[in-house]
Amino acid sequence: MKILAAAQDPTLQTFENDPWWISLIKLFGVFVILLLLTLFTINYERKVVARMAVRPGPNQVGPKGWLQSLTDGLKLPFKEEIIPKTADKVVYFIAPVISATCAFTAFSVIPFGPVVSIFGHHTALQLTDVPVSVLVLLACSSMSVYGVVLAGWASGSTYPLLGGLRSSAQMISYEVAMGLSIVAVFMTAGTMSTSQIVKAQAGNGTASFDILGWNPTAPSWYAIMLAPSFIIYCIAAVGETNRAPFDLPEAESELVGGFHTEYSSFKFALFFLAEYINMITVSAFATTLFLGGWRAPAPITSFWEGANSGWWPLVWWLAKVLILLFGFIWLRATLPRMRYDQFMRFGWKILIPINLVWILFLAGVRVTNDRVDGGARYLVYIAAAVVVLVIAWLWPASRKEREYSLEEQLAARPPGSFPVPPMDLQVPPSPRARRAVAERQPATVGGTEPEQEKEV
């Protein structure tokens, strides 16, 4: 299969002809780019959040504070390492290695640019590519869950275990929505190769989604053509990377530090590095799938023919990634943390159903375009829209839960029981309010007046 794909795809053929020293140069380049982007993103986030909060931010170390993240990264490996006595030493050490390794490996199939000349040898600005590159990215994100779960379990402590379970449930749940949002890209581009998906957005698409006269073979980003998939992917990416407002696995008020509470020194640095590399990876993945990859925007290519040749595409790719990273930072500085049950309900009951309906719609459009010609095609579209509107109109409204009064809550509580906060996390009534209710109702079900006063 690999030889056949390489024979049909000139880009894959380029990787087949790369000598070992070119592969080493590109491997070292990817490693350096990720480390530099991580150091930049940490300081970038602190400065942007400080600007939004109208405060200085890092400004002492280096020119205008830009070396602060470098000094923090050099400090972490030399800090004292504390390992709990109840920790499983082997798994405790392997967990951060799994997270960091998966984060680096996922970047191996991201295209940075076109074919360029490196020391006289022509090669693509991409470490490697396979016909199922997107599945490689999804596999790496799936494997990173093991690092989180094992870190929480191997620490031998309660809070890391709860944080690991919560984080794994969150990552698995939102990975489903992320995977479904990518299906629309497969259907439109007709390939799972990342380099070919970038090429398809340049006007060489193989799918036929001619909706209302719009030809998908023209140059167009999938962020516009597949807007619902792009929006769902962005939301799922924030949940997948455990970033605010979905940073529930690291809720300081509930779980201290989450799954890495018992980690310090270099092992904590690996988790910290993996988190920011995952942010960069999902941003680069979104750039590849929905924003044209390394290709320049249309306004630039209209007056500059060489914008997509040479090393310039690396600049366009980097600019798109930084814009998406700014979105992560903007959300952190703007939105409050969600409640965990709301967050999981949003993923399973809203994002996934919408994604499934959108995929069915795209499949229906493709079948209609292949089998129905002329004006009958538009009649099918109109009929489908009418059916959807009728179903939405006749769909039963959600029932609002009955709100119980304070008297009913006190009467339903067994005598002598400890007051437990309600499931909706509302503030329970104060003791003064309970005493006032008990004075107004001296005799209620479950005990006499003296017993209730003692209970209150």
What percent of the chain has a predicted confidence (pLDDT) above 70?
Answer: 79
Q: Which of 25, 365, 78 is nearest to 226 (CA)?
A: 365
What percent of the chain has a predicted confidence (pLDDT) above 90?
Answer: 19
Point out the least confidently predicted range of 102-111, 120-129, 203-212, 375-384.
203-212
Which has more confidence, 372 or 270? 270
pLDDT for 232: 93
pLDDT for 290: 93
Average pLDDT over residues 133-138: 89
Given pLDDT bands bounded at 50, 70 and 90, which one contains residue 327?
A: very high
Average pLDDT over residues 283-294: 92
Residue-averaged pLDDT of the chain? 80
Whether 380 has a pLDDT exceeding 70, the answer reads yes
pLDDT for 324: 94
Given pLDDT bands bounded at 50, 70 and 90, which one contains residue 41?
A: very high
Whether 284 has a pLDDT exceeding 90, the answer reads yes
Average pLDDT over residues 257-274: 85
Whether 3 has a pLDDT exceeding 70, the answer reads no
Whether 442 has a pLDDT exceeding 90, the answer reads no
Point out the least confidently predicted range of 37-46, 66-75, 206-215, 377-386.
206-215
Given pLDDT bands bounded at 50, 70 and 90, which one contains residue 407?
A: low
pLDDT tens column, 334-352: 888 888 888 888 888 889 9
pLDDT for 46: 92
The domain locations on the chain are: 19-394, 426-456
Average pLDDT over residues 120-138: 86
Average pLDDT over residues 65-70: 90
Given pLDDT bands bounded at 50, 70 and 90, which one contains residue 315?
A: very high
